[in-house]
Chain A
């Protein structure tokens, strides 16, 4: 993998680097950003903010609800137990199981959606620098064209990079 990146101490410097790269003709989708905390109020860290996660959670909830209904109703029909004069398929009591499994479905679907869309677990990118854990923000470009390298490096350096790195 070929890549070039800069490490920045402040979000403002990272924002400048991001703008510099955009001005140098690098598409926003080709710019890699890594930060030690969410910085959604900054343009450089607000990419990929569209998500269908709430709908996935709703779908998970629906699956949980249907599963619970089938589990309770079929069980009660296959193995009928007369309990205190209640109907064999006793929906008043089954609502409790249905509620719990509905919520469980929503929670599990949310976690699955997180893992899949955030690509977790995954191997650490070679671009990753442990300095990110010390509060630095990484702005970089993966697989740049050879002709772009100097322009990119200049854009990263101009934004006051604390460290510049190249991966060949």
Chain B
């Protein structure tokens, strides 16, 4: 049975179909379009985008916050489930951790994309230079630099360490250059008790460390807004509100990715309805929490009745941005709630539909946090509007393509489900695989 699990999960690493190459070409093309649009924006300046006074933070910042939010599902979920020793997590963790790594990489690109001169981004790095310029540690943007890089590095290590035994497994099956590459990647892993014990201890400690890091990252991203005295931004609730939203969108993205991988890599025996059901319950919980935070935020602003805040408030409730606001409520609460709460409706399809809605809804939420507050500032003299131009839209589409491309490429390098973790203990996935094998043997499956 264990051998079957290994061969099932290693199949994508050793076998490549023409569909895969077609997908890579398509996604690479989209990513190249995005790079081209960025180049165009760099060459001609921000005048080619929809950015204009007073809205100088818009789609790139929306995407930045959105992708950093998406990154929260992976490592956070993986760390929590690892610490509480939830056995059902095993097939899910690597899918989730990969989302974190890729979403952070993509998210961290957007502040650079937003810069007029991105080659000067190194000004954020604290090092003694002849220019005598040091970062101002009181700036939330410098906090971002430290928080995102800490989270990215920790998440990459958290992702990479459990891959070592799987790399060793591939090393033992591969030939030629692949064997050499995987020998290098597996670091000479042999599976001695000492190695296993140290690896598990390290993963446990890192899970403990990474939880507060994850919470801090999105809290700090929220500080980019809440530290500014801008209507509807300067709020104490922003930290937890952003963290809750990030986990919410992250779980939704995880469900969508898992469903796609299940179909594309034929992982039906490993990514079971149980996993979608459990993640669906978490998504439902986060939907309720998100609703609670939105209500708190909105009620406090409305009750305070400050003219500056009410301008922004009404522009989202009943004004220019109201279609986006109500679509967000529909996507984040009205549609997912019944789909996930009513037992009869629960299935993989409904979990995926609800998750797609949440991903759209959470993207809109990020947009609605950023743009209306800048477009309706304190005095009506400084009011304005924003509509994106093609470079921002192409760059945004390219970021989604980059996520898919990175996922597709990594699925060829490493098993998307951690094989050794799956084998540890008795797991429903293993039992399901055994049942399928028995059924196939008996000729029940066609």
Contacts and interface: CB of A to CB of B under 8 A. Distances in A.
Contacts of B143: 93, 96-97, 100
A55 B305 CA distance: 53
Contact of B196 (A45, A54, A133): A45
B23 interface: no
Contacts of B171: 133
Contacts of B154: 103-104, 107
B15 interface: no
A59 to B, nearest CB: 12
Interface size class of A (residues with CB under 8 A): 35 or more
A32 B196 CA distance: 14
Contact of A111 (B2, B126, B146, B157): B157
A96 B220 contact: yes
Interface string A62-97: 000000000110011011010110100010011011
B443 interface: no
Contacts of A93: 137-138, 143
A70 to B, nearest CB: 11
A82 B420 CA distance: 54
A150 to B, nearest CB: 26
Instruction: Find the residue from A35, A71, A114, A125 having the highest chain B CB count within 10 A.
Output: A114
Contacts of A135: 2-3, 6, 423
B9 interface: no
A32 to B, nearest CB: 7
Interface size class of B (residues with CB under 8 A): 35 or more
B133 to A, nearest CB: 8
Interface string B206-238: 100110110010001000000000000000000
A113 interface: yes
Given A40-B196, A100-B213, A104-B154, A34 B202 contact: no
Nearest to A86: B138
B205 interface: yes
A127 to B, nearest CB: 8
A33 interface: yes
Contacts of B209: 57, 103, 106-107, 110
Interface in B122-137: 126, 132, 134-137
A132 B191 contact: yes
* Interface pairs A-B: 7 shortest CB-CB: A121-B187, A38-B196, A130-B172, A133-B172, A48-B194, A114-B202, A122-B188
20 contacts: A32-B192, A35-B191, A35-B193, A36-B191, A36-B420, A37-B424, A49-B197, A53-B201, A86-B138, A90-B137, A96-B147, A103-B213, A111-B157, A114-B199, A114-B202, A120-B188, A122-B188, A124-B188, A133-B171, A134-B3
Interface of B: 2-3, 6, 126, 132, 134-139, 142-143, 146-147, 150, 153-154, 157, 161, 164-165, 168-169, 171-173, 183, 187-202, 205-206, 209-210, 212-213, 216, 220, 420, 423-424
Given A38-B200, A83-B136, 14 more contacts: A37-B196, A39-B196, A46-B193, A51-B201, A53-B205, A72-B137, A81-B136, A90-B138, A100-B147, A107-B213, A118-B194, A119-B194, A120-B164, A135-B3
Interface of A: 32-40, 44-49, 51, 53-54, 57, 71-72, 75-76, 78-79, 81, 83-84, 86, 90, 93-94, 96-97, 99-101, 103-104, 106-107, 110-111, 113-115, 117-125, 128, 130, 132-135
